[in-house]
Structure 1
Amino acid sequence: MEDLNGRYGLNQAHSEVVNACRIIEPCDVLDMGCSSGRNALYLSQRGFRVTAVDANPQAIATLQSIVDQAGISTITPQLYDIHQADIGTDYGFIACTVTLMFIDPSRVDAVLADMQQRTLPGGYNLIVCAMDTAEYPCPMNFPFVLGLGELSAAYKGWELLKYNEDLGTMHNGAQLQFATLLARKPG
């Protein structure tokens, strides 16, 4: 399988997206905060039908250009402001990796509620978000960070296939604590 990410100068897909693809069968997936499409390309190559959304028009234009050049029919790039918390369509899988920390903290609960509502029964949510804890204060000035146990508490009633609050490294080298959740909605 050709490495489209490398071909178009994008970072590799997020490791948690790669891991999730080991359990999740191809379905309709929403890539929230897709940037230039590193996860969308990976998911598409594995048989997923991807709606890739971002609030940055330049990122969406870049992804649309890649989709056009590569002749990919399974990725639909769309301009979307996550703050709206109105996805409008149901998905089998919603991935939101290193995105929540860039949104207005007052909208996070609504965004999470919308993601959960728009996930099909038996479907999955994947979230990776920076944390700020006493032990590991967040070194970056993100608008939003999670506290201990906050993300898992938001998914009460869902099956947590993976949950941790481990140290990780941003693509720019900054080390910080991340909450990582892969949860399955009750069928």
Structure 2
Amino acid sequence: MIYVGRIIVKGIENLPKSGSYIIVAPHHHFIDAIVFATQIRATDFFFIAKKELFKNKIFSWFLGKLNAFPVDRKNPSLATLQFPIKKLTENQQSFVIFPTGSRYSSQLKSGYLLIAKSSKKPIVPAKFEFNSWGRSRLTIGKPYFIASDERLSKKEKKILNEELELKFAAL
């Protein structure tokens, strides 16, 4: 990539060999989605992006090329979750989601848990680190499933989010 130079990709062998999956990653850089879309070529991805980004025609075109769909973060609807669940269930594409929702937040939101649980697709933790020109790294962790068939309680969501944060730290 022009902006960061060569990106070292580690753990590519952890990606599921067949079917769609959900890459879950912290969101720290404005190029995060581009990195995932260009560095993991094993499958086609779709993304979620705040609706405000689609107001600029050029940026909207670019987001369309990344297979991004808009979400109203202030008033999220059930359709926001149903769309990725449907696409994942139909194995159309894999999904990349940044559960903090913003580059300026570190608090994980639990929508990814509902999507993974409902679609029965594995979560693949990943992390992009921009270190310096040519020394950036994309690390992909081992996939895991959300096993519960019942609704997740707040406590269970909190525990699963804490476990994901530990997975990010270990990458």
**TM superposition score category, shorter chain reference:** 0.3 to 0.5
Higher relative contact order, chain-length normalized (CA < 8 Å, sep 6+)? 2
User: TM-score w.r.t. structure 2 length?
Assistant: 0.44
